[in-house]
A = this chain, B = another copy of it.
Amino acid sequence: MPREILYLKIAKILENQILSETLRTGDKLPSLRSLQKIYNVGLNTAQQAYTLLESKSLIISKPKSGYFVSGTSKRKLALPSVSNPIVTATKNETEYLTYKVFDVLRDKSVRQFSLGVPDEKLLPISKLNKGIIKVMRELDGSGTAFEPAQGSLNLRRNIAKWSLAREGELSEDDIITTLGTMNAIYLCLNAVTKPGDTIATESPVYFGILQLAKSMGLNILELPTHPVTGVDLEALKQNINKIDLCCFTCNFNNPLGSLMPDENKKALVELLTHYNVPLVDDDLFGVLHFGETHPTLCKNYDEAGIVMSCGGFSKTLAPGYRIGWIEPGQFKEKILWNKLVQTVAMPSLLQEVIADFMENGRYDHHLRVLRHTLYTNCLKFQQTIEEHFPDNTKISQPQGGFFLWLELDKKIDTRELYDIAIRQKISFAPGSLFTGHNQFNNCMRLNFALKWDEHVYQDLRRLGNMVKRQINL
């Protein structure tokens, strides 16, 4: 058979398998080499078949991973609305709700779609443990001695080296390690703001930031945020005179999964430089990109040093180790001094374990596997939700990270739904946690950083049925 028709035939076979769901969303297709063997064709033919399927959006190519059945061809759910917090009244404390949701975190009989970190099964625990033993033997005093105030030199060196891949120009001296990423944000705010100041955030926004700002006596201005592109820069510009600092997660915002385009990052930094408003950019999810490369950081556009970039290992490697960092820009001295007087130093042992893990590409390898798993899970979650949730459900389209943000029928109050679901041993994070305003009451955040299996599918299905029942009441 002529080659050009052969590739069409192969593509047709695969297309049918996809449409009949023999091959399901997120499933990995045969490699090019395997395809050649199966159909006894050359590389070109195999490649052409896949190129055709890609052009039809039936499959997606992930570099160094392979080809996957794409979800987009079936997408029928809309994106969530853009928030508009400025016109929405503020509300009372969400603290009780936070306690209620996160009190059940350790209950292993509950499906934890509410977690803020990856499931333990996705973490390289035994490799880290080997690292603990190794470091314990090599470290001066086995970790009983103080480390420098700025943090483990080895870890800072590895972070600097590793950031080169992101067009960074860091040296270890540009980095301060912290007790996790919330602590990094806290140290930045502590150095740069004072009680009574106003900080601008995204909306929805991780509730930890709302709670932290409130505890520091700061006012919060939530800005409208687009589920794909992030913060609305026009709204920011209109309110710039009220704002003392911006605190954003430009790469894969929690919970929206939005990714601010490069040109917006550039414009954002220019705007803030002009008005001398510092920016805390929390990049704790940046490495969990589904695309080919790590997205840029606002810091890449920062000449004046007004951007404080934060990073960490809580979402990717070891949440309980509590290790994050700040690239502090012009605020280094103040941040470092505060860290020193408030804590003297951090424990060195676990920082050295992570530094050791980063050497020789082991962290890179772990991240590649994790990204692959997350991307696949994202597609499977989306497909399952499309199947079993009501048609008017809106769902985010994250390009990285591990959260999905759902906007349900306006009849639904997800705080009430939470109580129903928890009796069925399913937990999620109700939307109203993610704002200080009276909004998102029909929204929820789901975490897909877990091991996908039939039980996860069934739990999502049951959750969808609960939503349908609530609508029909």
Interface positions of A (Cβ within 8 A of B): 105, 117, 120, 123, 125, 128-129, 132-133, 136, 141-147, 179-180, 182-183, 186, 194-195, 208, 211-212, 215, 317-322, 337-338, 340-350
By secondary structure, the A interface counts as helix
- The answer to whether A344 and B117 have CB atoms under 8 Å apart is no
Would you call A183 and B143 a contact (CB within 8 A)?
Answer: no
Interchain nearest-CB distance for A269 vs B (Å): 27
Q: Are A125 and B146 in contact (CB under 8 A)?
A: no
On whether the beta carbons of B144 and A321 are closer than 8 Å, the reply is yes
Number of copies: 2
A253 to B356, CA, bound (A): 40
Chain B, residue nearest A214 (CB): B341
Contact (Cβ within 8 A) B133 A120: no
**Min CB distance, A404 to chain B, in Å?**
22
Task: Provide the residues of chain B in CB contact with A144, threshold 8 Å.
Answer: 120, 123, 125, 128, 317-321
How far apart are the CA atoms of A208 and B183 in the complex, in Å?
21
Query: In the complex, which residue of chain B has the Cβ closest to the Cβ of A342?
Result: B186
Q: Across the interface, which residues of B come within 8 angstroms of A105, CB to CB?
A: 146
Q: Is the CB of B136 within 8 A of A129?
A: yes
Out of B194, B195, B212, name the residue touching A341 (CB < 8 Å).
B212
- With contact pairs A120-B141, A123-B141, A129-B136 given, residues A320 and B342 touching in the complex (Cβ less than 8 Å): no
Given contacts A120-B145, A136-B129, A144-B123, contact A179 B343 (CB under 8 A): yes
Q: A183-B342, A342-B186, A343-B183 are in contact. Are A321 and B211 (CB under 8 A)?
A: no
Known pairs A186-B343, A322-B347, A344-B182; A146 contacts B117 (CB<8 A): yes
Q: State the 10 A-B residue pairs at the shortest beta-carbon distance, nearest first.
A: A144-B318, A186-B342, A212-B341, A145-B320, A211-B341, A322-B347, A183-B343, A144-B320, A215-B341, A179-B343
Known: A186-B342, A212-B341, A341-B182. A141 touches B347 (CB 8 A): no
